[in-house]
Amino acid sequence: AGQGTAALELLHSDGPFDVLVVPVGGGGLASGTALALQHASPQTRLVLAEPAGADDTARSLAAGERQEAFTPDTICDGLRTLIGAPNFALLRAAGAEVIVVDDAATMAAMRLLWEVLKQVVEPSSATVLAAVLAQPQRFAGLRVGLVLSGGNVDLPALRWGTP
């Protein structure tokens, strides 16, 4: 529930939102956000952004049970963990949706955040912008909030590609 304070701060400063997008790995931030929305903004839909190389939450929600066969392969080091059982139960009950994005889209979103908004975020967090950019029609005409966090970036590990 403590991690839900990020969503509460965003809701109080800029809400209300039709949709809130957050990254998901082990599910702490995502399930905290689900709890916060349940109490403070129940009409807001929760969309999770997850890397394709660590998409156990998307597979678990689609199957209706946790999928534990998991070997992560993603630049998003903060999202390489298996969704926790309590977190999965909360996200499933909340009707959370997941958008899966590849690492190239995540890196492009991270670069955009750094260059245009001057916001230093880690790849794990850039997945939320990558998810919105991947499905613009899904968010057209809606008020969308993005939870961006973390500047924990191992610069030598990043595959920037060419501009």
CB-CB contact of 21 with 47 (8 Å): yes
- Domains along the chain with CATH numbers: 2-147 (3.40.50.1100)
Helical H runs in the chain?
A: 5-14, 28-40, 56-63, 85-94, 103-115, 123-134, 136-139
Q: What is the pLDDT of residue 160?
A: 56
Handedness of CA 86, 91, 92, 94 (dihedral sign): positive
Q: What is the pLDDT of residue 150?
A: 77
Return the number of other C-beta atoms located less than 10 Å from residue 62's C-beta.
Answer: 11
Asked whether the bond before 136 is cis by omega within 30 degrees of 0, the reply is no
pLDDT in tens, the chain (163 residues): 788 999 999 999 998 999 999 999 999 999 999 999 999 999 999 999 999 999 999 999 999 999 998 899 999 999 999 999 999 999 999 999 999 999 999 999 999 999 999 988 999 999 999 999 999 999 999 999 999 987 676 666 666 554 4
